[in-house]
Structure 1
Amino acid sequence: MAHPVIVGVDDPASAGDAVDWAADEAQLRGVRLHLVHAWLWEPHQAPESLDAQALRRAGERVLSVMAQRAADRHPGLEISTGVVDSSARAALLALSGAAGPLVMGARGSGGFPGLLVGSTTLHVAAHAASPVVVVRGLGGGAMAVGGGGRSGVVVGVDGREPSPGLLTFAFETARRRSLPLTALHTWSYPLALGPEHALPPVYEAGNVEAEEDRLLAGVLSDWRERYPDVPTSGQLVRSGPAKHLVDLSRTHRLVVVGRHGEPHGPVARLGSVSQAVVHHAHCPVVVVPVG
């Protein structure tokens, strides 16, 4: 049985765009949309007194409003809702194993308006078992299926160690939404390790770039065969990927990045590239666990 698309709902003002994106994705996948609201505060945020019943009722009202919004957007879409007696972090992480994917707004409950991305969103993106879609409020046109004047999907690719899970998510999303896909691979000069190592002292930029181009072309050749209906292009850039992915987010509908490593703090698993893209992108970002 296919996993539902799950979206975390805080309040209508901050959750509307995330619900819209999630409803579109559920409709395209042909699966249920599940809206969840966690009413318990994080321990360090909790007021001195809480009216549990009032908080639950408020959560139920928010879910009702957002469920109706999704139903109006896609009549006939199967929709379920749930109020969870937990904090947002704990609830969403517990649900992430059965989500495909998990969708969140950029700013969570208890955050400050000036912050680019809330701590709850970053924590969940860093630790969830499923891909996490972070949707910044951009208005319906930027995220609506087939609309918004933006181009397709862009994915950050490591030409030397391409992740099958990352590329599968990117290509499947592009195919479902009938969008082109751009794979960004960045390169830099190899590090000279010292006189005891057998690396040449001078690198020809053209030679290094040509080798990187061959790596990317080889990766994309395999995936073009698997997804012949997805128009695919590669983009090779010298320097770090974060800035270029953020730049591409201005003109693309979705950015897909990977998440590596083991947790060593609240956002350590995101890595510098994915964390920067989540913070600064101008379109929705998907963080895919790849190892």
Structure 2
Amino acid sequence: MTRSVLTGIDGSPQSEAAVHWAAEEAVRRGVGLRIVHAWPWLSTEYADGSLARDLRPAALEALTDTAERTRRAYPGLAVETTVVGDDPADALIAAGKDQELLVLGSRGLGGFSGLLVGSVGLAVAARATVPLVLVRADGPTEPPSHVPARREVVVGVDGHHASDAVLHFAFAEAARRGARLRAVHGWDPVPAWAAAGWVPPQIDVAAAEAGERVVLAEALAAARVAHPEVEVTAETRIGGATNALLASAAGADLVVVGRRDHRHPLGMRLGPVAHAAIHHSPAPVAVVPHS
């Protein structure tokens, strides 16, 4: 198998949801599916050097069961399985670097009901060299009544520093699904200092909004030409990029955000918009690395 959609499983409902999402995506792309189980200790050793049990057979059995269910559900889909004795994040990043896409399940953290991604998902989102999709097991099956019941991909656009890679990914995903693309650009008036603290400046909001719409249209122009089959809704919102994106996420098939591929002294980092989206979006989130 050459380039494929790769997903990781750990036996959780989240990873099962990720396998299902990844299989559908592989069918849409006309590529195979690779399912990986990674764990740093595939056998347990006691202090006296004796082995408690070899965990590899259990991992292989779980993989085999998942692969067989997937093949039955998606006839004709080529499915490959791999067990890797390594840190899950490191293994998935290494295995995914030459693949079409990485797909992982997202899970909650303790009692924080809005936080949906565990340490592996965050590490992969921050370091993966290919797009990563994070899928919830408990995502809504029906869109809210106030959201149009049609397929829609939402992409967050930084109008002043738009990424061709992010826009191409979002347009291509909308085209594969026959979905509308909603391009969202959130902005804020530049604040000013006053005795009472930071306050919005006295500006002509309508004029500023018109200017932001022009910026967004210019950012989308090349991608629209490359994907004329995709219906596009361009939307600007006052209140910042994060609020704008999350306000548009309900009922979406997919939310697409970018991640700048630059290094931080403490390692690769997610930007604030990507971080908020993967923790709080009710829809699957694609994180697309770009320069």
Instruction: Judge same fold: TM > 0.5, yes or no.
Output: yes
**Which residue of the partner structure matches residue 40 of structure 1?**
40
- Is 1:60 matched with 2:60? yes
Deviation at 1:215, TM superposition (A): 0.9
Give the Cα separation in 1 of the matches to 2:286 and 2:153. Answer: 10
C-alpha separation in 1, matches of 2:170 and 2:31: 18
Any conservation in 1 of the 2:242–2:277 contact (CA below 8 Å)?
A: yes
C-alpha separation in 1, matches of 2:127 and 2:5: 18
> Contact (CA 8 Å) 1:180, 1:232: kept in 2 or not?
yes
Conserved 8 A contact 2:142-2:251: no
* Partner residue, 2:25: 25
Equivalent-residue separation in structure 2 for 1:280 and 1:41 (angstroms): 32
- The equivalent residue for 1:243 is 243
By percentage of residues, which structure has more strand? Answer: 2
Residue 244 of structure 1: how far off its partner (Å): 2.7
1: CA distance, partners of 2:182 / 2:128: 25
Identity of matched residues, %? 39
Gaps of 5+ in 1: 194-200
Structure 2: stretches of 5+ with no match in the other structure: 194-200
Q: Secondary structure at the match of 1:5?
A: strand
Q: 1:116 aligns to what SS in structure 2?
A: coil
What letter is aligned with 1:242? T
Please give the alpha-carbon distance, in whole angstroms, between the structure 1 residues aligned to 2:140 and 2:31: 21
Displacement after TM superposition at 1:27 (Å): 0.7
Letter in 1 for 2:228: P
Could you list the per-position Cα deviations for residues 24-80 of structure 1 after superposition, in whole angstroms to 9, with x for gaps in the alignment?
1111111110000012259xxx99779586321121122112212221221010110
Matches of 2:242 and 2:117 in 1, distance apart? 16
Query: TM-score, structure 1 length as denominator?
Result: 0.85
Q: Give the Cα separation in 2 of the matches to 1:7 and 1:124.
A: 12
Residue 171 of structure 1: aligned partner: 171
Contact 1:17 1:140 in 2 (8 A): no
What do the CA deviations read for 1:247-290 (whole angstroms, capped 9, x no partner)? 32222110000112323446x62111111110011110000101
Provide the C-alpha distance between the structure 2 equivalents of 1:11 and 1:229, rounded to a whole number of angstroms. Answer: 39
- Report the TM-score, using the length of structure 2 for normalisation: 0.85
Q: CA deviation at 1:149?
A: 4.5
Q: How does 1:5-16 map to 2 (within 5 A)?
A: 5-16=5-16
Match of 1:262 in 2: 263
Structure with greater helix share of residues: 1
Which amino acid in 2 is paired with 1:253?
D
Aligned-residue RMSD, C-alpha: 2.9
